[in-house]
Amino acid sequence: MTIRSAVVLAAGEGARLRPLTKYRPKPMLPAATKPIIEYVFDALVEAGITEITVVVGYGRTHVQSHFGSTYRDASLEYVGQDKQLGSGHALLAAESDVSEPRLVLNGDQLVAPRIVEDVRTAHDDGDAVATLGLIRDENVAEYGGVICGDDGHVAEIVEHPRDDRTYQLNAGVYAFEPALFEYLRGPEPQLREYSLVDGIANAIDAGATVRGVTSDGIWIDATYPWDLLEVTATLLEHADGVESSVSADARVHESATIVEPVAISADCVVGPGSVVGPNVALGENATVGANAVVEDSVVDADTRVGSGATLVDCVTGRNVRIGTGSTVVGGPGDVRVGDRVHEAERLGALLADRVRDRGGVTYEPGTVVGSDAVVNAGTTVRGTIETETEVQ
């Protein structure tokens, strides 16, 4: 039976991306100029999927109001996960809707359509309880590693492997039979979370067949705020990504310079003498003032960049105001996320939703400014500024 339905897991917050996720979930953060989850829907539709169940939780209304009941040629149904207790628990929330084989994807990771199609085809051709999409990637230690036997069956799945064995990366694209739900329930989950990977490992331990299929193509995960810069650059430069483009509804002054690749959305304004690009994404209704410079940055919707400002390696939330002559000098910088400091990361500054910069501000590399903060004119900002703080 050819799989025509899928479950997309989109209930998590993405805590390590705070303060960007204070008001919306990680799947709705921008990758270039579209929400991350929209690329997931695109990959499914292009692989022939016509019915998508979306498991939502944190910030669920952002997903539901943005997409509604259909996307392209696919119907969208929403299932709530009231408590975020892991990916397996999220899939269990959709159990009542599943009576035949389905695909399941993470809603916060970008994958090439060919990976989805390869998994679907491999599962259709076999008798496995689950089929995993795999890619060859050096970042296995940061995610999940898979070891397959010569017959293509998965022998072992290891989260964050640290040994020197040869792993393939678990791309987070699965096909599964309804029988997998029994393996998701036991034994007792780790750390009180029901992991999808643990459920598949339970199936392997019980002697069930789990297959792995290796694919090529784009696979990107944004774990931290600075990853959004790499996501945008990769999408603009990769064959599986997006084309450099300036919306026909954008207004670019004849004296402005656009350095491709860029993604400039509808209703953007690029002022006289300004320079935008390369590797810049401007969300809808963003404005770049006269003689401003924006380079290697993600500027989200409704943001205003003042005249003469300079942004390098900058990520903004929505509705940010950056004043005249302010400067984000660019990374690398040390960035605090929770109780951990990440050294020498490529982040000039992160300005979360509705930050107000009064002009003439200098942001030292690695600065993170929380939502609704106000930065007064002429100040130098460093480190982490909490939400609703006023910086003198």
Name the residue type at position 391.
V
Class of domain 235-391: mainly beta
Q: Do the bridges between strand 293-295 and strand 275-276 make them parallel or antiparallel, or are there none, so unpaired?
A: parallel
pTM of the model: 0.89
Write the CB contacts of 173 (distance below 8 Å, at least 6 apart in sequence).
Answer: 103, 104, 105, 111, 115, 116, 119, 132, 133
User: What phi and psi, each to the nearest 5 degrees, are found at residue 184?
Assistant: -70, -20
| pLDDT at residue 178, rounded to an integer | 81
Residues in the chain: 392
- pLDDT at 373 exceeding the cut of 70: yes
Could you tell me how far CA 195 lies from the centroid of its own chain? 20
Higher pLDDT, 63 or 147: 63
> Domain boundaries in the chain?
5-221, 235-391
Confidence of residue 202 (pLDDT cuts 50, 70, 90): confident
Answer for the pair 197, 224: CB distance below 8 angstroms, yes or no: no
Write down the residue that tokens 């930050």 correspond to: 355
pLDDT per residue over 87-119, tens digit each? 766 666 666 666 688 899 989 889 989 999 999
Phi, psi of 388 (to 5 degrees): 65, 20
Residues with Cβ within 8 Å of 308's Cβ and at least 6 positions away in sequence, in order, are: 289, 290, 291, 292, 324, 325
Beta partners for 8? 54, 105
Nearest to 129, CA basis, from 61, 196, 70: 196
Nearest-CA neighbor of 356 among 332, 310, 320? 320
Q: Is the predicted pLDDT of residue 190 greater than 80, yes or no?
A: no
The token pair at 304 is: 């205003």
CA–CA dist 160, 119 (Å, integer): 23
Tokens of 263: 């993604």
Report the range out of 126-135, 228-237, 280-289, 336-345 with the highest average pLDDT: 280-289
Q: Could you tell me the two tokens for 392?
A: 């003198």
Residue that wins the pLDDT comparison between 194 and 119:
119
pLDDT over 70, % of the chain? 94
The whole-number average pLDDT for the span 234-239 is 87
Q: In the 3-class helix/strand/coil scheme, how is the chain assigned residue by residue?
A: CCCCEEEEEECCCCHHHCCCCCCCCHHHCEECCEEHHHHHHHHHHHCCCCEEEEEECCCHHHHHHHHCCEECCEEEEEEECCCCCCHHHHHHCCHHHCCCCEEEEECCEEECHHHHHHHHHHHHCCCCCEEEEEECCCCHHHCEEEEECCCCEEEEEEECCCCCCCCEEEEEEEEECCCHHHHHCCCCCHHHCCCHHHHHHHHHHCCCCEEEEECCCCEEECCCCCHHHHHHHHHHHCCCCCCCEECCCCEECCCCEECCCEEECCCCEECCCCEECCCEEECCCCEECCCCEEECCEECCCCEECCCCEEECEEECCCCEECCCCEECCCCEEEEECCEEEEEECCCEEECCCCEECCCCEECCCEEECCCCEECCCCEECCEECCCCEEC
Question: pLDDT, tens digit, for every residue of 5-52?
Answer: 898 988 888 888 999 999 999 999 999 999 999 999 999 999 889 999
- Sign of the torsion angle spanned by Cα atoms 103, 106, 108, 112: negative
User: Residue type for 360, please?
Assistant: G
Query: According to the model, what pLDDT value does residue 98 have?
Result: 66
How many angstroms separate the Cα of 182 from the Cα of each of 88, 316, 325? 11, 43, 60
SS3 for 254-319 is CCCEECCCEEECCCCEECCCCEECCCEEECCCCEECCCCEEECCEECCCCEECCCCEEECEEECCC
Per-residue pLDDT, 91: 66
Homologous superfamily of 5-221: Spore Coat Polysaccharide Biosynthesis Protein SpsA; Chain A (3.90.550.10)
